[in-house]
Amino acid sequence: MKKVFSLLPLFCLMTACFNHQGDTARKPGKKDYALADSLHFDHTVIASLRAITAAPFQRMTLTGHRSNAGSPPPAALEFAYDEGDNPLEMVDQLLEDFNRKGYHIFRSAESFGPEPDKIAVLKSADQFDILRYKGTNGNNFGISTDSLIKRLREWDTQYHFQIIGADHDWVELKFGTVPPDFTDLAQQVYDFCPDIVDQGTETVQALSEEMQRTHTLYLWWD
């Protein structure tokens, strides 16, 4: 009995610590709601984000251009994720629910260095506003943000993809419809984005196999 009672304080302390950590990660605070209100974000979106991260939220900086002259850009926030987190799982967990509410969640920074990688949420009915907001382009190949969007819209009509990541020189897509011919699509991708093969998969066939295995497409321009 003495052993049981001697362990009881330690158990209570561990439980309190666990609950405190859970509360930090799962309950939005006043600052969260203040930012949400300034962005006109639904509070349920903030609550869903708090269920997967305790990282501070901040307003995302516009680095691209507005979709319509004279109109304000869509509201957006972002947060850094820890090295041990799986960003694709975090995005996938909330993707459909956020889309139904008129929001898009995506990876917004991939630094490969000392700067933190980030996830963002954009309030918009148009997922291509992600690319406008980030100014995503392949300028080294004469591909502007607008021409990139035009090409991706063509693929979207066939494969109904979701944009799950983007920054100034890369974009990641998740296919909603499985392409009937991955080899043909891989050749189209290579023609549009040579770096993905020349500095990545090395062959068009390897790109085709990667897309077939992951049902995703990652485009980037050096």
Per-residue pLDDT of the chain (222 residues; tens, 9 = 90+): 444 334 444 434 444 443 433 444 578 999 999 999 999 999 999 999 999 999 999 999 998 875 555 578 899 999 999 888 899 999 999 999 999 999 999 999 987 767 789 999 999 999 999 999 999 999 989 999 999 999 999 999 999 999 999 999 999 999 999 999 999 999 999 999 999 999 999 999 999 999 999 999 999 998
Which residue's entry shows tokens 């041990």?
Answer: 84
Around Cβ 32, how many Cβ atoms within 10 Å? 19
pTM of the model: 0.84
The answer to whether position 182 is within a domain reads: no
Segments forming the whole domain that contains residue 9: 2-177
Each residue of 148-175: b (16+ CB within 10 Å) or e?
bbebbeebbeebebbbbbbbbbbbbbbb
**Number of domains, the chain:** 1
Domain membership flag for residue 185? no
Burial of residue 209 (number of CB atoms within 10 Å: 0-12, 13-18, 19+): middle
Is 213 part of a structural domain of the chain?
Answer: no
Is 208 inside a domain boundary? no
- The residue count of the chain comes to 222
